[in-house]
Structure 1
């Protein structure tokens, strides 16, 4: 785990980290990793009750925590969340754009609203967060970490909406790395593979599918949220001070054999779950 001697527990002491979608799953795991290394944390999401539970956990790790409900699709709400963070813990040093939506849907059955919703949360939401954090990140000479997905790079069946959104986020990351580098702001992305016991995994597979996934991952296991946290703390650390515009795969080699196994399992999951985890 982070803080067990790999990194000093004071690595991010005096630093502030803002995580969108930070109330649960991978994003809470990332917030937890930074808190263990001394950072103060701001999290946002759509459900205050979930954020409050996460804030209590993060506070137990010693972090000062700001938890404010905000939908990344709503710039006014995000602006209020960033202002609350600045007023309580100071200018943010690291922004993690993690808020996302996903479900399986054949493209010929995917509604325009379903497509737009994922685009709005993932792509528009990532832009909103990055743009509204810009002034704080200029002052702190901070960094942005975008959480994307293998669908951004390899075609996956039943994921037209996710692939389009995440590919957009990947290119947004690269453009911001180019434009904002002169301000000292670094921008990178993490591409997680299948991560155990997360809401996203349950939306795209059942227990049988999850077992069959293991045969197609070179390391023969799924990731855990702590490993995504490890990657995020590395990218935000001085060890990565000359890394920007880079996509870091944290997937146990899942992307190497292609998406065929995902496509087959997706078809089986949709046959058993016609709503596709929505």
Structure 2
């Protein structure tokens, strides 16, 4: 589908995207790259990051994978070696090198993958720092890492409940906190004349009323929305940072949908949707581009719902025993998955 935005609308911007190597996060990474941004992908699984890098390369988006410690600045090195042939004062040479280094970063957008778990503060700090060191600035943070599965409340363990909150809620706050010094107006890597950056937190609509067999995610996303609005108030006022959320509905062909609505029930879900169809990852990515571009420069503290109107209705389209059967089948497939694929229902 053709984008409604100009190809260079995000030119010169650097975005860090958690969960950026799969599902909705990967589509956002891809579209940001296609629209001129340099992107850093954060994910827990090395193999998934490798696969994401390969796909981005196949789409002609320049990709340089930090897992292999491959320098993206080949052009800079060529220029630098050329200037080394001249007898110039060291201070002048260093100044020219610095200019060329930063220029080469933004002549061509790039993407890089960093392995890390948003539940671990040390990983969050390391990935944010690595992104800044790699690109020299951070303009956008997208928190798309999430955990989800269908389960009735009485069958949900405290650990399962806590894990989803740790990924979605605590992970989102931790990443925001670590990125603050780079996103705020006048922060590291930002010129005194440039404003603050932008944060997007991927949420949901499950907690707007109530949702069957989703108590853990409903609680987690309610916390994410509260975080979004509070940071928009505090950091918008103090640091000129815009903080917004996107609440997707059922999105086809994502890991989440394979767990929440496998083939056993996905066809029934469409019957209850006002638009009678599932959304696409592209829909969420276009919303993200709108929010972080100048088109959304006066939007702050909002959560944009992109679900075709589904949240207006909460039908019980699956009985409890059917949920248990689906949950067991998903868990069985996870346990039988090849090495390198996550084996829990998360």
Give your verdict on TM over 0.5: yes
Instruction: Summarize the alignment of residues 39-188 of structure 1 with structure 2, pairs less than 5 Å apart.
Output: 39-59=37-57, 60-62=60-62, 63-138=109-184, 139=187, 140=190, 141-182=196-237, 183-188=239-244
**Which structure 2 residue ranges, 5 or more long, are not aligned?**
63-108, 191-195, 331-344
Q: Deviations over 1:200-247 (max 9, x none)?
A: 011112214111111111111101111110000001111111100001
Unpaired stretches in structure 1, ≥5 consecutive residues: none
Question: How many aligned positions are there?
Answer: 273
1:210 equivalent in structure 2: 266
CA distance in structure 2 between the aligned counterparts of 1:45 and 1:66, rounded to whole angstroms: 11
- 1:272 maps to which residue? 325
> In angstroms, what is the RMSD of aligned CA positions?
1.5
CA distance change for structure 1 residues 178 and 101 in 2, over 3 Å: closer, same or farther?
Answer: same
Alignment check: 8 A CA contact 2:14 2:138 kept: yes
Computing the radius of gyration over CA atoms, which structure comes out larger, 1 or 2?
2
**Residues 28 and 101 (structure 1), Cα distance of their counterparts in 2 relative to 1, 3 Å cut:** same
Determine the structure 2 residue equivalent to 1:219. 275
Pairing 1:239–2:308 present: no
> Which secondary structure state, in structure 1, belongs to the residue aligned with residue 275 of structure 2?
coil
Q: How far apart, in 1, do the equivalents of 2:327 and 2:50 lie?
A: 33
Contact 1:119/1:164 (<8 A) preserved: yes
CA distance in 2, matches of 1:118, 1:5: 33
Secondary structure in structure 1 of the residue aligned to 2:312? coil
CA contact (8 A) 1:218 1:253 kept: yes
Query: What do the CA deviations read for 1:116-137 (whole angstroms, capped 9, x no partner)?
Result: 0001000000001100000110
Going from structure 1 to structure 2, the CA distance change for 1:271 and 1:108 (only over 3 Å counts) comes to: closer
Q: Does residue 12 in structure 1 map to residue 10 in structure 2?
A: yes
TM-score, length-scaled by structure 1 = 0.94
Q: Deviation of residue 5 (structure 1)?
A: 5.5
Q: Deviations over 1:15-46 (max 9, x none)?
A: 00110011100100111111110000001110
- Contact in 1 for aligned 2:264/2:326 (Cα 8 Å): no
Q: What is the CA distance between 1:49 and its match in structure 2?
A: 1.5
How many Å separate the matches in 2 of 1:221 and 1:255? 14
SS in 2 for 1:195: coil
Which residue in 1 is equivalent to 2:92?
none
- Counterpart-to-counterpart distance in 2, 1:163 and 1:271: 19
Find the counterpart in structure 1 of residue 27 from structure 2.
29
Is the CA contact (8 Å cut-off) linking 2:152 and 2:213 kept in structure 1?
A: yes
In 2: Cα distance, 1:276 partner to 1:188 partner: 36
User: Residue 104 of structure 1 contacts residue 266 of structure 1 at CA under 8 Å; is this kept in 2?
Assistant: no
Preserved contact between residue 40 and residue 131 of structure 2 (Cα < 8 Å): yes
Give the C-alpha shift of residue 175 in structure 1. Answer: 0.2
Distance 1:242 1:78 in 2: 28
The match for 2:106 is: none
**1:54 positional shift:** 1.0
TM-score normalized by the length of structure 2: 0.76
Residues in 2 aligned to 1:17 and 1:173: alpha-carbon distance in whole angstroms: 18
8 A Cα contact 1:204 1:266, kept in partner = no
